[in-house]
Amino acid sequence: MDPNRRLTLSALAKQLGVGEATLRNWKRKGLELDADGLISPSELYAFCDTHRSLPVARKILDMRPWPEPGFPTAGLPTMAKIGDIDTARAVARASRAAALATFDALLRAATAAEEAARAHREIIERLRHAFVASEDAFLHVTTPSTLND
């Protein structure tokens, strides 16, 4: 698929194996067509990149040619080393899954750190409150009017 060839939504949906109605609904979310109602696959990929929360957007991105245009390829296996496009796609899917699992672990760690920080803050606030209370008690006890009592 030529990433810059302009197609109708119907033709693009058919090539990607997604519903035309889905792409039409995305027009309300900001998917832009030209004056003739055409869009290129690369424009659709760009839209999907910024709307990854849409389930079909993730599916479309998973079908994007590998490596993606503009993706740094230095040090990556070439098709000659990999063998065929199916193997390349499998490598890309496995890499994506590993990256997503890493991001999920990082998010869990960040959430745990936030919870720990919140607990530490509560302890510090209680210590501060206890310190102020003990200071007030000390001032009360050492006030000259109470020293002779």
Q: Are 42 and 69 in contact (CB under 8 A)?
A: yes
**Helix (H/G/I), strand (E/B), else coil: 64:** coil
Digit-coded pLDDT (tens) for 96-116: 888 888 888 888 999 999 999
Q: What is the mean pLDDT of residues 7-15?
A: 89
2 vs 9: CA distance, rounded Å: 15
Domains of the chain by start residue, with CATH: 1-65 (1.10.1660)
pLDDT over 70 at 70, yes or no: no
Q: Are 47 and 26 in contact (CB under 8 A)?
A: yes
Q: What is the mean pLDDT of residues 10-38?
A: 89
Digit-coded pLDDT (tens) for 41-61: 888 888 888 888 888 888 888
Threshold 0.85, pTM exceeds: no
